Amino acid sequence: MAATELTLYELTGANPELRFSPFCWRIRLALAHKRLNANCIAWRFSDKQKIAFSGQGAVPVLVDHGQSIHDSWRIAKHLEENYPSQSLFGNASASLVQFVNAWADRALVPAIAQIVILDVFNGLHEQDKAYFRASREKMLGASLEAVVEDKPTKITKLKRVLAPLRQALGEQAYLGGNAANYADYCVFGMFMWARCVSPSELLEKEDPIYTWRERLLDAFDGMARAAFTVSENQRLKVTYP
């Protein structure tokens, strides 16, 4: 099929090159895994009209031959069903991969948000900032500035949340085993979220998760490593213990 028959609407910031959504990253990687090209369209929180056709108010939205699919998990299943070569789930049950997907959503998103949420805000276009601050501060029950106070403690807490991933990567290179699959991308998307917007280093070099992340940054000809970040220079200088 022609590349132009798949269209992915992706969240972006002030700079349209900044594609930082962890959920959109999952789909970017899923498409690369299946060697599918998609026409990627930048979308901002305030661009409601742009995806009104899908009936959704958020991305990722994938349009495949005129059919629109939303929600990263549903998109992954759609791709697996409709483009079965290069399986996204390997031979694992969908429910086992979905478990990792849900763990990343429920356990990792809040733990990483405590470190990078203000950086996300700072990367946004002016037209999105008021909405983002109001909705996230309501959700978190505190100002964005208060949420990210004492980052070293938050990074220590994240390290504990990541314990199951660390243990699983102690014996094999990827959650998928010898090769990465969608379980890996579900989690790696979270690290791309942080990488794209924040100077904070979330992992210590000695952590097996760091090595795993390096491998995924290099995957698909370094696609993730080459992604635009707001703070490449700054990020290399700032680390927390």
Spell out, one character per residue from 123 to 162, where the chain touches its own copies: x when CB under 8 A holds, - when not.
Answer: -------------------------------------x--
Residue 75's CB is within 10 A of a number of other CB atoms, namely 23
- Among the listed residues 15, 37, 135, 172, the single contact to its own copies using CB under 8 A: 172
Site for its own copies in 72-91 (CB under 8 A): 90-91
Q: Give 85 or 178: the residue with its C-beta nearer to its own copies.
A: 178
Site for its own copies in 89-108 (CB under 8 A): 90-103, 105-107
Q: Give 186 or 197: the residue with its C-beta nearer to its own copies.
A: 186
Backbone Cα Rg of the chain: 17
How far apart are the C-alpha atoms of 73 and 143, rounded to whole Å?
A: 30
175 binds its own copies (CB under 8 A): yes
Task: For the CB of residue 172, give the shortest distance to its own copies in the complex, in Å.
Answer: 4
| Pairing mode, strands 61-64 and 6-11 | antiparallel
Kind and range of the H or E element at 75? helix 72-82
168 binds its own copies (CB under 8 A): yes
Residue keyed to tokens 């795993």: 212
Q: Name the nearest CA neighbour of 197 among 22, 80, 10, 57.
A: 22
How far apart are the C-alpha atoms of 200 and 166, rounded to whole Å?
A: 20
Contact footprint for its own copies (CB under 8 A): 90-103, 105-107, 160, 163-169, 171-172, 174-178, 183
